[in-house]
Structure 1
Amino acid sequence: MRYVKEFAVVLALLMLAGCAGKPVQESPVATDEGIPAGQIYLYGEIHGIAAIEEYEAERWKECYERGMRHLFVELSHYTAQWLNLWMDAEDDEILEQLHQDWESTLSSGAETLDFYRTIKEQCPETVFHGTDVGHQYDSTGARYQDYLEERGLADTEDYRLTLEAIQQGKTFAERGSDIYRENRMAENFIREFDALDGESVMGIYGAAHTDPDAMADSAGTVPSMAAQLVERYGDSLHTEDISWIAWEPQRTDTLTVAGKEYQASYFGEEDISGWAGDYQSRAFWRLEGAYEDFEDCPESSDVLPCNDYPMPIEAGQVFVLGYTRKDGTSERKYYRSDGEVWNGMDCTTEFIPE
Structure 2
Amino acid sequence: MNDNKFTCLIKAKIMFVHPLLLALIIALAACSNSSTDKIASKSAQPTKEAPLVTQASGSIYLYGEVHGVAKIIDKEYELWSEFYHNEGMRHLFVEMPYFTAEYLNLWMQSDNDDILEEIYDDWEGTASHNPYTKAFYKKIKGECPETIFHGTDIGHQDETTGNRFLSYLAANDLTETEEYTLTIEAIQQGRFYRSKDDNVYRENKMTENFIREFERLSSESVMGIYGSAHTGLDEMDYSTQSIPCMANQLQKHYGDNIYSENLSWIAKDIDPSRVDYITLQGKEYVASYFGKQDLNGFKDYAYREFWRLEGAYEDVKDLQLVENYLPYDNYPMLIETGQVFVISYTKTDDSVEREYYLSNGKIWDEGMYSTQQFTAE
- Over 3 Å counting, the alpha-carbon distance change for 1:222 and 1:116 in structure 2 is same
Q: Show CA shifts across 1:198-239 (max 9, x none).
A: 100000001111112111166643111111111211010111
- Contact persistence 1:252–1:263 (CA under 8 A): no
User: Are residues 307 and 145 of structure 1, via their aligned partners in 2, closer, same or farther at CA, if it must alter by over 3 Å?
Assistant: farther
3-state SS in 1 of match to 2:243: coil
> Is the strand fraction higher in 1 or 2?
1
Which of 338, 343, 357 is the aligned partner of 1:317?
343
Distance in 1 between residues matched to 2:331 and 2:172, nearest whole Å: 46
Identify the residue that residue 234 of structure 2 maps to in structure 1: 213
| Alignment counterpart, residue 80 of structure 2, candidates 45, 60, 67 | 60
In structure 2, how many angstroms separate the alpha carbons of the residues matched to 1:164 and 1:55? 32
- SS in structure 1 at match of 2:223: strand
TM-score between the two structures when normalised by the length of structure 2: 0.61
CA distance in 1, matches of 2:78, 2:308: 31
The corresponding residue for 2:60 is 40
Match of 1:177, as an amino acid? D
**C-alpha contact (below 8 Å) 2:276/2:289 kept by paired residues:** no
Aligned residues: 258
Which structure is larger by alpha-carbon Rg, 1 or 2?
Answer: 2
Counterpart pick for 1:126 among 140, 144, 147: 147
Aligned to 2:195: 174
1:186-205 aligned within 5 A = 186-205=207-226
Q: CA 1:124–1:218 in structure 2 vs 1: closer, same or farther (change >3 Å)?
A: closer
Indicate the residue corresponding to 1:27 in structure 2.
Answer: none
Distance across 2 between alignment mates of 1:210 and 1:58 = 19
Question: 1:173 corresponds to which letter in structure 2?
Answer: R
Contact 2:72 2:266 in 1 (8 A): yes
Task: Provide closer, same or farther for how the CA distance between residues 146 and 219 of structure 1 changes in structure 2, counting only shifts above 3 A.
Answer: closer
User: Distance between the aligned counterparts of 1:337 and 1:150, measured in 2?
Assistant: 63
Deviation (angstroms), 1:82: 1.2
For 1:94 and 1:166, the matched residues in 2 are separated by 19
**Distance change (3 Å), C-alpha of 1:264 and 1:73:** same
User: Residue 288 of structure 1 contacts residue 318 of structure 1 at CA under 8 Å; is this kept in 2?
Assistant: no
Q: Which amino acid aligns with 1:72?
A: F
Q: CA deviation at 1:87?
A: 1.1
Structure 2: gaps (5+ residues): 1-10, 12-56, 278-285, 292-304, 311-327, 346-351, 357-377
Q: Distance in 2 between matches of 1:52 and 1:69?
A: 21
Secondary structure at the aligned position of 2:102 is classed as helix
Equivalent in 124, 128, 143 of residue 103 of structure 1? 124
Q: Distance in 2 between matches of 1:245 and 1:124?
A: 27
**Which residue number in structure 1 is paired with residue 24 of structure 2?**
none
TM-score (norm 1): 0.65
- Is residue 145 from structure 1 mapped to residue 171 from structure 2 by the alignment? no
Match of 1:70 in 2: 91
Contact 1:316/1:336 (CA < 8 Å) preserved in 2?
no
- Aligned residues of 1:73 and 1:204 also touching (Cα < 8 A): yes
Question: 1:51 is matched with which residue?
Answer: 71
Residue 20 of structure 1 corresponds to which residue in structure 2? none
Q: Distance in 1 between matches of 2:154 and 2:176?
A: 21
CA distance in 2, matches of 1:194, 1:204: 18
1:246 aligns with 2:236: no
Contact 2:269 2:334 (C-alpha < 8 Å) held by counterparts: no
Query: Deviation digits for residues 12-32 of structure 1, max 9, x if unmatched?
Result: xxxxxxxxxxxxxxxxxxxxx
**Unaligned residue ranges in structure 1 (runs of 5+):** 4-36, 268-284, 291-305, 320-334, 340-354
Secondary structure (helix, strand or coil) at the match of 1:129 reads strand
Would the aligned equivalents of 2:96 and 2:151 in 1 still touch at CA under 8 Å?
yes
* CA RMSD between the two structures: 3.4
SS of 2:194 mapped into structure 1: helix
Q: Deviations over 1:74-113 (max 9, x none)?
A: 0000100111111122222111111111111111111111
Is the CA contact 2:275–2:289 (under 8 Å) kept in the aligned structure 1?
Answer: no
Matched residues in 1 for 2:180 and 2:234: separation? 35
Shift of 1:316: 2.1
Residue 152 and residue 214 in structure 1: after superposition, are their counterparts in 2 closer, same or farther (change >3 A)? same
Report if the CA contact (8 A) 1:179-1:217 is conserved: no
Q: What is the rounded CA distance, in whole Å, between the counterparts of 2:254 and 2:206 in structure 1?
A: 15
Q: Is the 8 A contact 1:45 1:206 kept in 2?
A: yes
Maintained 8 Å contact 1:315/1:337? no
